[in-house]
């Protein structure tokens, strides 16, 4: 049987985790994770905590591709979309974790920023089961005591399950999991339709992935999880927030449900993970599935989508750049509207031609400067936005779409000049040009083929040399 534990995944990494030893819970994780972002997976421990923690597991797209077994974004998008549309089936196996003498503060609760409300857990996934429906989703948790935490629940699947349970005057039995295979974490961040279990999505991406039923409440959790905490989400509420989130701004204070821990379980070699709020790993886990959704929606209405990027500056949540190949001049506006449909939290969409590299912000800016007119901007007012946008009012925002593509009829007018492809002249071409130079028929020539053309100097009417087109420059 395959081992899908986080510890096994970490041991398979080409860049081994950098051990940083014992660190303070307050601010040090933020500094160390930031310093090593895109450089090192790090391993650290808190003096007063039982377990070790990994950070920076996914801070680059290439690491995510490798975990999915693909070599690029398009293949990754297609794998994720297929897994949601046609999930596998995570088979059940026996629960093999042992009872643990632990408490919530043994988990990676940390004070990341001075304006946070307290110690936060950012890598916890809540598993719930209601009737035949199971769900797994990320929820930040504010430590209240060694057995209680306030958790932020947005109006999605877990919220629906909690409301249904509360209608009968009951609390919702759940399991908190910290430390599982990164692809299973990605599946838990994907928000499929209600009734689709995220671990079945994980099984499609990781064939052979299994779940086990927790001893007390029979909730399906990853069989190779590092730590599982059974408990309940109570009808009781507590103040949660502020918390620095995806956009690196503080989310507001709310009254949120309280999680009460009842039983702890751990694997043989429990290795947990922590996620830097607003860091690249946070953005990739949350944003990458949305990129896939945007890619799918835009691909339905535009013939060729080259690249989609939820930009880092927008938290991989609010701003999107898309490069396409147009068939008609209306394709860019159609792509903008499709993108807003694919990810409703988007506030700004920029569409450019395929000759613009949207991984380079200066190229996006160049396209806006040279191919965009504000009079053609798409503006949508009073639309649903994101609670992560501090400029939105009660989640309502205006949205902007920018068509920074060149008109098809005037494509050449908008091309960016670049150095042509240069190749040494073929020997036979050089010999003929030397003969012409000796006969003073030309004044000189370039020793390179420029985009496959021969360049000569002189007032001479020659259309080709040895089958190569000629560009004659008068000197």
At 303, the pLDDT band (50, 70, 90 cuts) reads confident
pLDDT tens by residue, 223-258: 999 999 999 999 999 999 999 999 999 999 999 999
- Cis peptide bond upstream of 242, omega within 30: yes
Summarize the confidence of residues 358-380 as an average pLDDT: 95
Mean pLDDT score of the chain, rounded to an integer?
95
Catalytic residue among 171, 245, 331, 389: 245
Summarize the confidence of residues 82-106 as an average pLDDT: 97
pLDDT tens by residue, 347-357: 999 999 999 99
At 458, the pLDDT band (50, 70, 90 cuts) reads confident
Summarize the confidence of residues 338-361 as an average pLDDT: 96
What pLDDT score does 15 carry?
Answer: 77
Angle CA 390–392–395, to nearest 5: 110
Using alpha carbons, select from 387, 394, 400 the residue that is nearest to residue 345: 387
Task: Rounding to the nearest 10 degrees, give the CA dihedral for residues 73, 76, 78, 80.
Answer: -130
CA distances from 106 to 270, 420, 464 (A): 12, 60, 77
Query: What is the percent of the chain with per-residue pLDDT over 90, rounded to a whole number?
Result: 88
Q: Who wins on pLDDT, 420 or 321?
A: 321
Q: Is 245 a catalytic residue?
A: yes
Element of type H or E holding 429: helix 427-438
Task: Please tell me the pTM assigned to this model.
Answer: 0.89
3-state secondary structure of 87: coil
As a whole number of angstroms, the distance between CA 394 and CA 136 comes to 26
Whether residue 1 is predicted with pLDDT greater than 70 in this model: the reply is no
As a whole number of angstroms, the distance between CA 285 and CA 291 comes to 11
Range with lowest mean pLDDT among 10-19, 208-217, 364-373: 10-19
């Amino acid at each position: 049987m395959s081992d899908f534990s986080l510890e096994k995944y970490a041991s398979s990494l080409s860049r081994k985790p950098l051990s940083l030893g014992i660190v303070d819970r307050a601010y040090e994780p933020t500094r160390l994770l930031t310093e090593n972002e895109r450089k090192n997976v790090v391993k650290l421990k808190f003096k007063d905590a039982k377990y070790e923690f990994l950070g920076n597991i996914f801070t680059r797209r290439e690491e995510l591709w490798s975990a999915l077994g693909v070599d690029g974004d398009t293949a990754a998008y297609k794998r994720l979309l297929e897994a949601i549309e046609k999930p596998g089936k995570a088979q059940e196996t026996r629960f093999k974790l042992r009872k643990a003498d632990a408490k919530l503060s043994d988990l990676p609760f940390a004070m990341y920023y001075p304006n946070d409300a307290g110690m936060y857990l950012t890598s916890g996934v809540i598993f719930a089961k209601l009737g035949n429906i199971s769900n797994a989703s990320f929820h930040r948790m504010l430590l209240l005591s060694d057995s209680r935490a306030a958790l932020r629940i947005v109006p999605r699947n877990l919220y629906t399950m909690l409301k249904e349970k509360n209608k009968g005057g009951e609390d919702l039995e759940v399991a908190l999991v910290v430390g599982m295979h990164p692809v299973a974490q990605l599946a838990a961040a994907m928000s499929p339709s209600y009734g689709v279990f995220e671990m079945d999505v994980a099984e499609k991406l990781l064939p052979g992935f299994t779940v086990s039923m927790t001893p007390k409440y029979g909730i399906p959790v990853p069989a190779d999880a590092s730590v599982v905490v059974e408990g309940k989400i109570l009808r009781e509420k507590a103040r949660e927030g502020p918390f620095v989130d995806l956009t690196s701004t503080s989310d507001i204070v709310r009254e949120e449900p309280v999680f009460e821990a009842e039983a702890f379980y751990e694997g043989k070699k429990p290795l947990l993970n922590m996620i830097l709020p607003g860091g690249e790993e946070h953005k990739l886990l949350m944003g990458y599935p949305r990129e896939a959704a945007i890619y799918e929606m835009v691909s339905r209405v535009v013939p060729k989508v080259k690249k989609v990027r939820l930009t880092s500056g927008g938290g991989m949540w609010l701003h999107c750049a898309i490069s396409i190949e147009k068939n008609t001049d209306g394709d860019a506006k159609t792509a903008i509207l499709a993108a807003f449909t694919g990810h409703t939290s988007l506030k700004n969409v920029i569409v450019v031609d395929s000759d613009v590299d949207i991984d380079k912000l200066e190229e996006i800016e160049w396209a806006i400067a040279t191919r965009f007119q504000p009079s053609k901007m798409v503006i949508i007012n009073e639309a649903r936005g994101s609670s992560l946008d501090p400029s939105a009012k009660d989640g309502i925002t205006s949205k902007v779409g920018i068509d920074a593509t060149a008109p098809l009829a005037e494509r050449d007018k908008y091309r960016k000049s670049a150095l042509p492809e240069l190749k040494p002249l073929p020997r036979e071409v050089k010999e003929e040009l030397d003969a012409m130079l000796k006969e003073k028929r030309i004044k000189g020539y370039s020793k390179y083929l420029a985009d496959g053309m021969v360049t000569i100097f002189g007032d001479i009417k020659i259309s080709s040399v040895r089958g190569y087109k000629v560009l004659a420059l008068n000197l």
